Structure 1
C-alpha cells in the first residue's frame, strides 16, 4: 500500500501542516478540497496511524504526525539534493543562477541568504537582477530570471512557491520631517504626503494595506532602492521598507514603525519559480531556502 502513495501526496501533507486547514491547503496547492482530503486519508490508512487530528478551527498534526512530518521534510530535502546531483552530472561543475526581485526592495535578510548560499555552494555563480513588474509572476516570464524573492502580503498558491520569513512595513521620512521624531506613525497621518515608490511597488502596496485603505499620492521612479531613499532624505517624499532594514536608511532619513488602526502591516517574502525551469542550480537553491528560511 505504501508504494502506491504518490510523491505529490507527501508534499500536500506538508502544505496541510503549514496551513492548518484542508481548505486553505487545497487553495494553495490548486487541488480540489475533497481530492486533497482523500489523499491524506489514504496516506493515513497506508501508514496505519493518524497524521492529523481534526478540530473546529482546522487541523493539526498528531504526535505521530509531528514525527512523520519532521522526517518527511528531511527525506524530501535529501531527495531534492539527490535529484540535483543526478541532473548536474559533475558535482563541481560551475553553474549559474539568476535571482530576481520585484516590487519592494530585496531585503537585507534576503541578501544575507544569497550570500550564505554562495558561501555554501561556491560552484554556483549567482547574479542578482533587480526588476519591477506590475504582477509578481511577470518576473518569471522570460528566461533571464530563475527564481524571484518577492515581498507580498499573501500567497499566490501552488507548489512552486516557498513561504519565507515575515516582517512588517515601516515608513522612511526625511530627518527634518515633522513626524520624524515619532516612534510610531499611523497610515492616516501620511494622507498629505507624497509616497515615493519604485516601479511595481504600487501593486504590492495595495496588496499589503488592502484595497479599502486610501493611499497617499504616489510617484513612481525608475531608480534603485538606494536612490529612492536618498530622495526621501532630501525631503521629496516618504517611502516604505521592511522594518528589518531600519538600520540601512541613509544619512538625512529616519525609519519609523507604521500602523493601520494601531495594527502592524504584515509583509512576507516568498521564493517563486517556474515549474518548467530545468536549471540544475535552481533545486539546490530552493532546498537551501527550505532548510534554513522556510516559515
Structure 2
C-alpha cells in the first residue's frame, strides 16, 4: 500500500465515478482502476461495489475511508513538521547561562527570539561555565553563555557581551564617597571573589589585575554566583570587583563605583557544539552575533 493508493481511493470515494475521479487526478481510467485493485488486494477486502447502477462504497470501504483520511492528514503534518524543523522554525532549544546574563540582555534576547520563532520552545538552565561546557559536550545543552573563550575543540564560541569591571562595596563604605575607585584603594580590603573552581578565568582575571597594581587581594570569601558576591558585599562581608551589569541587580545595601584604572574587560561568550546540525540553535547564535555587532562590542 502506498500513499498514492490512498489518494486515488479518497477521490474515487468522493466522486463515486471512475471517469470524474480520473479527470480530477489527471490520469486515465485504466491506471485508476489498476491502483484501486492493488489497494483492495493489499487491504484484503472489497472497498467498492461496481455494477450497472454505478460505484458505491462497501461497508469496509466506508470504514477504510476514515482511516485513509487520517493517514494522509498525519503524513501531511509530518511533512510540514520536517520542513519547519529543517528551516529552524520549530523544535526545542536548551540554553545554559551564567547568572550575570540576567543583567546582560539575555531576557531581552530571548523575548526577541521567541517573537521571531514562536514554534521553538526554549528551556533555560543556570550553570557555571565549566558545568555548561560539560553539558554541551555530553549533548545536554544546545548553546550556553560562559565566562571564557577557552573551550574544547568540539565547541565554537562568539563574543556575546563585553563591559568594564566596577567596584562593589557596602553602601556605607568610605570609598562610596568617591566618584571612582582606584584598584590600589582596595589594598588590604577583604575580598569576596568568584570561585576559582566555578570560573578560573574570572578568578585569575581579577587576581591578576590587582597584582598588576602592586598587591594581591585578601580573599575572604569565594562563591559560585555573581549575585552571591553582591549579596555578601551588601551585608558588609567584604568588597568585590564585578562586571558593571551587576549594578542593575538592585541589591539593597550594595554600592557600585567605576574603577579609575584601565582594566581588562568582563566578557561573556556564547558557546555551542559545532555538530550535529541544529537549525534552531544556528538561528539563536546568529541573533546573538547580530546583537553583539549592534552593540559594537
Q: Give the TM bin, normalised by the shorter chain.
A: 0.5 to 0.7
80, 102, 105: which one aligns with 2:100: 105
Give the structure-2-normalised TM-score: 0.58
How far residue 263 of structure 1 moved from its aligned partner, in angstroms, is 1.1
How far residue 270 of structure 1 moved from its aligned partner, in angstroms, is 1.6
Q: How many residues align?
A: 205
- Counterpart CA distance in 1 for 2:152 and 2:206 is 16
1:282 corresponds to which residue? 281
- Cα separation, partners in 2 of 1:151 and 1:238, compared to 1, 3 Å: same
- Cα separation, partners in 2 of 1:227 and 1:268, compared to 1, 3 Å: closer
210, 219, 239: which one aligns with 2:221: 219
Partner of 1:268: helix, strand, or coil?
Answer: strand
- Counterpart CA distance in 1 for 2:220 and 2:142 is 30
2:96·2:132 contact (CA, 8 Å) conserved in 1? no
Partner of 1:217: helix, strand, or coil?
Answer: strand
1:88 corresponds to which residue? 85
- Counterpart CA distance in 2 for 1:270 and 1:251 is 29
Find the structure with the greater CA-based Rg: 2
- Cα separation, partners in 2 of 1:240 and 1:101, compared to 1, 3 Å: farther
**Alignment of structure 1 residues 1-295 onto 2, 5 Å:** 88-89=85-86, 93=90, 95-102=91-98, 105-106=100-101, 107-133=103-129, 137-138=133-134, 140-152=136-148, 160-192=156-188, 193-198=190-195, 200-207=198-205, 210=208, 212-213=211-212, 214-217=216-219, 219-222=221-224, 224-259=225-260, 262-294=261-293, 295=297
Relative to its length, the structure with more helix (as a share) is 2
1:170·1:258 contact (CA, 8 Å) conserved in 2? yes
- Counterpart CA distance in 1 for 2:158 and 2:106 is 13
- Counterpart CA distance in 2 for 1:277 and 1:209 is 38
1:135·1:203 contact (CA, 8 Å) conserved in 2? no
- Counterpart CA distance in 1 for 2:286 and 2:87 is 19
How far residue 228 of structure 1 moved from its aligned partner, in angstroms, is 3.6
Q: Deviations over 1:103-148 (max 9, x none)?
A: x722432332223222222222222222124597445333222212
2:27 corresponds to which residue? none
How far residue 209 of structure 1 moved from its aligned partner, in angstroms, is 6.0
Which stretches in structure 1 are left out of the alignment for 5+ residues? Answer: 1-84
- Counterpart CA distance in 2 for 1:126 and 1:246 is 27
Partner of 1:179: helix, strand, or coil?
Answer: helix
1:105·1:241 contact (CA, 8 Å) conserved in 2? no
2:57 corresponds to which residue? none
1:171·1:239 contact (CA, 8 Å) conserved in 2? yes
1:258·1:265 contact (CA, 8 Å) conserved in 2? no
- Counterpart CA distance in 2 for 1:144 and 1:237 is 36
1:73 corresponds to which residue? none
1:209·1:265 contact (CA, 8 Å) conserved in 2? no
Partner of 1:105: helix, strand, or coil?
Answer: helix
Q: Deviations over 1:211-262 (max 9, x none)?
A: 754333152224x543442222111122333214423231111111124xx2
Which stretches in structure 2 are left out of the alignment for 5+ residues? Answer: 1-81
Aligned-pair Cα RMSD in Å: 3.2
